[in-house]
Chains A and B, each alone.
Chain A
Amino acid sequence: GENVEQHPSTLSVQEGDSAVIKCTYSDSASNYFPWYKQELGKRPQLIIDIRSNVGEKKDQRIAVTLNKTAKHFSLHITETQPEDSAVYFCAAPQRNTGRRALTFGSGTRLQVQP
């Protein structure tokens, strides 16, 4: 199946700084890469996604970049705020399910210090 590796596992930044989380995937045929934010005890919430026909997508303070050659994609959060503190998961389609289900990275706990 798909293997998705995510780094770092924890990230602490000062309010107003930028945060970057990186993921690598193994299935070169993967074409969809979502990012989810999960607050403690809550559901994973889709914050942004990217498909393989573009290299970058931006939504206000959040952006995702995709490098298909290197098989990695990254989440960039600018001007971080305390409410950005959460666990962030990257994901990619799971090959052994016909790419229907998602394989998730192990998560990054982001702490934004006020």
Chain B
Amino acid sequence: DSGVTQTPKHLITATGQRVTLRCSPRSGDLSVYWYQQSLDQGLQFLIQYYNGEERAKGNILERFSAQQFPDLHSELNLSSLELGDSALYFCASSVDSGDGETQYFGPGTRLLVL
């Protein structure tokens, strides 16, 4: 157990819908990262937040957004869902936001868009 929690574990929804994925970092960690894992694209970085502020952005679609709240939990919002958004979504956390921070991954949310 990494200490990072994610809910829900599984999510099944239809195209065009909107969902919210939630992540709580390890105690003491200020930084949260979101990654998407699909069969054809592997593990891809989406976005990072540090102490409530966006710090880095990867290949995140405009239909996707995220935020980090004062209690440091983070939410990833996915809207206008398409079949291709079906994937495992992981969040990871680290103590700080610098170069080469050790990242610990949560158990992931498996999203299936039908």
B residues sitting closer than 8 Å to A (CB atoms) are 2, 31, 33, 42-45, 48, 55-58, 90, 97-108, 110
Contacts and interface: CB of A to CB of B under 8 A. Distances in A.
The 5 tightest CB contacts between A and B, nearest first, are A32-B100, A97-B56, A101-B45, A104-B43, A99-B99
Contacts of B45: 94, 97, 101-103
A34 B102 contact: yes
B108 to A, nearest CB: 6
Interface string A28-70: 0001101010000111111001010000000000000000000
A102 B103 contact: yes
Contacts of B101: 32, 100
A58 B71 CA distance: 37
Contact of A31 (B2, B43, B48, B99): B99
B98 A100 contact: yes
A73 interface: no
22 contacts: A34-B103, A41-B110, A42-B107, A43-B108, A44-B90, A45-B2, A46-B103, A46-B104, A46-B105, A49-B102, A51-B100, A93-B100, A94-B45, A97-B48, A98-B55, A100-B56, A100-B101, A101-B33, A101-B45, A104-B42, A104-B43, A107-B42
Interface residues of A, number: 25
A88 interface: no
A3 interface: no
Contacts of B44: 104
Contacts of A49: 102
A106 interface: yes
B106 A101 contact: no
A25 interface: no
A36 B45 CA distance: 15
B106 A100 contact: no
Nearest to A31: B100
A45 B105 contact: yes
A97 B43 contact: no
A36 B105 CA distance: 10
Given A43-B90, A44-B90, A89-B43, A100 B105 contact: no
Interface in A71-114: 89, 93-94, 97-104, 106-107
